[in-house]
Amino acid sequence: MEVAGPSFLLLILLLLAPLSVHSTPPPYLSPAIFAADYDDMLESFRIFVYGARRTFKFKSEAESLFLASLLGSPFVTENPSEAHLFFVPFDGDLSERSVARVVRDIRADLPYWNRTLGADHFYASCDGIGFGSDRNLLELKKNSVQLSCFPGSGGRFVPHKDVALLPAGVAPAGEGEPRGLSSNETIEHLAYARLGAIKDPGLVHRLGGDPGLLIESEPSDRETFERRLAMSEFCLFDYGGDVSWIGDAMRFGCVPVVITDRPIQDLPLIDVLRWQEMAVFVGSGGGAEGVKRALRGMARERVERMRGSCVAASRHFAWNRPPQPLDAFHMVVYQLWLRRHTIRYARRDWS
Ligand SMILES: *[C@@H]1O[C@H](CO)[C@@H](O)[C@H](O)[C@H]1NC(C)=O
Ligand SMILES: *[C@@H]1O[C@H](CO)[C@@H](O)[C@H](O)[C@H]1NC(C)=O
């Protein structure tokens, strides 16, 4: 890999530094590596799409947006011999048997699958596919990168190999600039929650009695919703509930609080962003009191830093049409780029 000079991207990263008075470190695990890798990706990444002329019916908007954005992007190549990765699209409602047939066909028609047994291939499946016994399905599941929805359904996400798609969001994609509070606004609520985002009705009920918490089913309109986000310190999510507005929350500096009883392995951008600096993870064991105690116990400066990190990272959550630099589409492609050197299962031919 070439050593990147002072790049266009580093400039962008500097500009991205939050505008607030609180100095916030960049929200990336490794800002320098991200900048250089992202630049390399823009320069060189090529993806071959099987059946690119067909239309596919996916289960989630994120999958559809991904394929549409990909087909309109410079990453697509019609020449498979220059591709780094191969995309195997299929309809969201296909049975596992039919998916196996898709793999069998591309294996028979073109030499690329056999070369790596699928390790340089990827596919999109909102719910993820299981480990079937069929050879084609097994290779797809074990070797290829799965793009699936967040949060995933149990056991179908393989950490470090698979990629969680960023949720397609409530906001009309890309609308508005990231913003925090303006100087004449003040925090009104410790935390904000939408009923649909919390699965446990008992927890909602007990949280609801607290004047510091605002819980509602649906905000009356977009403007009200944005004001709620901007004027709350924390936004509550239940892992497994509706997380589609997590990017909106972050854009307005509302720090996501994710209620979960086990480590989350399929967080979007888990190998790019410093989630520990942008979100709070609390167990449900302590109930509503436990959640409130965790939030009230946090130091002011830490919360301000987290709000800054959220705003800085939020552009990576926006699905724009057409795609914009560093947005959700580009970040999914970036994570695929990071996986392009997966182990190749060389097939030995002794004959
Ligand atoms: C790939 O390998 C399978 C056997 O594992 C074989 O049947 C198939 O013809 C091969 N594909 C190509 C394009 O050579
Ligand atoms: C804050 O100021 C802006 C203009 O600077 C104004 O549009 C907005 O209504 C004000 N908000 C409040 C809560 O007073």
DSSP 315-333: GGG---SS--TTSHHHHHH
Buried b (16+ CB within 10 A) or exposed e, 121-160: bbbbbbebbeeeebebbbbbbebbbbbbbbbbeeebbbee
Closest C-alpha residue for ligand 1 atom 6:
108
> Quick one: residue 121, left, alpha or beta (phi over 0 = left, psi -120 to 50 = alpha)?
beta
Ligand 2 centre distance from Cα of residue 350 (Å): 75
Ligand 1 centre distance from Cα of residue 107 (Å): 6
Q: Look at residues 271, 193, 275, 274 and name the one whose alpha carbon lies nearest to residue 238.
A: 193
pLDDT at position 178, please?
Answer: 56
Please give the model's pTM, rounded to 2 decimal places: 0.87
Closest C-alpha residue for ligand 1 atom 7:
108
pLDDT at position 2, please?
Answer: 41
Q: In whole angstroms, what is the distance from residue 339 CA to residue 47 CA?
A: 13
Q: Look at residues 295, 287, 288, 279 and name the one whose alpha carbon lies nearest to residue 210.
A: 288
**Atom number, ligand 2, closest to the C-alpha of residue 184:** 1
Ligand 1 centre distance from Cα of residue 114 (Å): 6
Report the 10 Å Cβ neighbour count for 310. Answer: 29
Helix axes 8-16, 31-44, angle to 10 degrees: 130
Torsion sign across C-alpha atoms 295, 241, 96, 73:
negative
Q: How long, in residues, is the chain?
A: 351
* Residue from 179, 181, 182, 228 whose mutation best tests the ligand 2 pocket (most atoms within 8 A of CB): 182
Contact criterion met (CB below 8 Å) for 257 and 282: yes
pLDDT at position 21, please?
Answer: 43
Closest C-alpha residue for ligand 1 atom 1:
114
10: CB partners within 8 A, 6+ apart: 35
Strands (E) located in the chain: 47-49, 76-77, 85-87, 121-124, 145-148, 163-164, 189-194, 213-216, 232-238, 255-259, 280-282
Q: In whole angstroms, what is the distance from residue 254 CA to residue 124 CA?
A: 30
pLDDT at position 19, please?
Answer: 46
| 114 in contact with ligand 1, CB cutoff 6 A | yes
Contact criterion met (CB below 8 Å) for 229 and 243: no
Ligand 2 centre distance from Cα of residue 279 (Å): 28
Ligand 2 centre distance from Cα of residue 182 (Å): 8
Mean pLDDT by 10 residues, the chain (351 residues): 47 49 79 95 97 94 96 97 97 96 97 96 96 93 96 86 87 53 73 85 81 85 88 92 90 94 92 95 90 93 94 92 94 96 50 36
**39 to 4, 13, 61, 331, 339: CA distances (angstroms):** 8, 12, 27, 12, 16
| 108 in contact with ligand 1, CB cutoff 6 A | yes
Contact criterion met (CB below 8 Å) for 329 and 101: no
Ligand 2 centre distance from Cα of residue 219 (Å): 20
Ligand 2 centre distance from Cα of residue 19 (Å): 18
The number of the ligand nearest the C-alpha atom of 184 reads 2
Superfamily of domain 189-317: Glycogen Phosphorylase B; (3.40.50.2000)
Ligand 1 centre distance from Cα of residue 108 (Å): 5
Identify the residues whose C-beta falls under 6 Å from ligand 2: 182, 184-185
Extents of the domains making up the chain = 45-168+320-350, 189-317
**110 to 79, 105, 122, 127, 237: CA distances (angstroms):** 12, 9, 16, 28, 45
* Residue from 110, 114, 121, 348 whose mutation best tests the ligand 1 pocket (most atoms within 8 A of CB): 114
Is 1 exposed, middle or buried (CB count within 10 Å of its CB: 0-12, 13-18, 19+)? exposed
Q: In whole angstroms, what is the distance from residue 192 CA to residue 264 CA?
A: 22
Contact criterion met (CB below 8 Å) for 116 and 345: yes
pLDDT at position 175, please?
Answer: 52
